């Protein structure tokens, strides 16, 4: 019974994200207890109350991109699209086009990049984020960044990771070159 429910849930997830959930099937097959712990992690990965959807989405894209996992980056793109983020903002995040983002969205994107790169610039950006959206925004960004890095790590360790190269945004394919996004 559990296996049928899990399979149904994983197929639903695959339709929603547009990406394979085979790594989750592997987790369940090898370690059912670990599977349930991993599943209960996912609500944290979706926690957003104060951040505008654009700021949240670009932070997740920046964090997934930092891990160089194409399927995870594509999942972030697909979920941002589903949430109503404009293709122009998604494209800007995938390609690192800071000029195409408004100040607040760009700040969230740069904050995520800085955190992922262990760059102290995150300390300069945090006060502005908190001034705009409150301390809760820092929590939301921390969860978005951490969760977007966890999935690629688990996938790579289990043999399901693939490097970023191209991402599809709507009907457009965009080059996702990690080297262009690393902070100087």
In this predicted structure, what is the pLDDT of residue 73?
A: 86
In this predicted structure, what is the pLDDT of residue 179?
A: 47
Asked if 99 and 174 sit in the same domain, the reply is yes
Asked if 92 and 124 sit in the same domain, the reply is yes
Query: Where do runs of H (alpha helix) occur along the chain?
Result: 2-17, 22-30, 32-39, 42-45, 53-66, 70-82, 87-95, 103-116, 121-133, 135-157, 178-181
Please report the sign of the dihedral spanned by the C-alpha atoms of residue 15, residue 35, residue 47, residue 146. negative
Asked if 75 and 32 sit in the same domain, the reply is no
Asked if 18 and 109 sit in the same domain, the reply is no
Q: What is the pLDDT of residues 25-69, one digit of tens each?
A: 999 999 999 999 998 888 888 899 999 999 999 999 999 988 776
Asked if 5 and 56 sit in the same domain, the reply is no
3-state secondary structure of 72: helix
d(CA 96, CA 58): 10
In this predicted structure, what is the pLDDT of residue 18?
A: 79
Q: State which H helix or E strand residue 175 sits in.
A: strand 172-175
Q: Which residues of the chain fall below pLDDT 50?
A: 179-184
The domain spanning residue 165 has which CATH number?
Answer: 1.20.1290
Asked if 131 and 59 sit in the same domain, the reply is yes
In this predicted structure, what is the pLDDT of residue 33?
A: 92
In this predicted structure, what is the pLDDT of residue 20?
A: 83
Contact criterion met (CB below 8 Å) for 161 and 69: yes
Asked if 28 and 114 sit in the same domain, the reply is no
Asked if 168 and 99 sit in the same domain, the reply is yes
Asked if 54 and 12 sit in the same domain, the reply is no
Contact criterion met (CB below 8 Å) for 75 and 17: yes
In this predicted structure, what is the pLDDT of residue 70?
A: 74
Among residues 33, 60, 34, 36, which one has the least CA distance to residue 46? 60
In this predicted structure, what is the pLDDT of residue 149?
A: 86
User: The domain containing residue 29 runs over which residues?
Assistant: 1-40
In this predicted structure, what is the pLDDT of residue 177?
A: 62
Contact criterion met (CB below 8 Å) for 133 and 50: yes
Q: Which two tokens stand for residue 33?
A: 């207890």
d(CA 62, CA 148): 9
Asked if 85 and 9 sit in the same domain, the reply is no
Asked if 32 and 69 sit in the same domain, the reply is no
């Amino acid at each position: 019974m559990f296996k049928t429910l899990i399979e149904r849930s994983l197929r639903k997830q695959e339709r929603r994200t547009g990406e394979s959930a085979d790594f989750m099937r592997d987790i369940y097959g090898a370690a059912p207890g670990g599977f349930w712990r991993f599943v209960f992690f996912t609500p944290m990965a979706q926690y957003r109350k104060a951040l505008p959807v654009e700021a949240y989405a670009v932070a997740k894209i920046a964090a997934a991109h930092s891990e160089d996992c194409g399927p995870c980056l594509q999942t972030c793109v697909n979920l941002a699209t589903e949430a109503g983020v404009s293709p122009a903002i998604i494209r800007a995040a995938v390609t690192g086009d800071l000029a195409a983002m408004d100040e607040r969205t760009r700040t969230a994107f740069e904050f995520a990049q800085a955190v992922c790169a262990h760059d102290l610039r995150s300390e300069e950006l945090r006060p502005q984020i908190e001034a705009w959206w409150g301390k809760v925004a820092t929590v939301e960004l921390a969860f978005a960044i951490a969760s977007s890095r966890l999935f690629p790590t688990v996938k790579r360790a289990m043999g399901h990771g693939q490097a970023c190269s191209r991402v599809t945004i709507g009907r457009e394919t965009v080059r996702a070159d990690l080297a262009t996004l690393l902070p100087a």
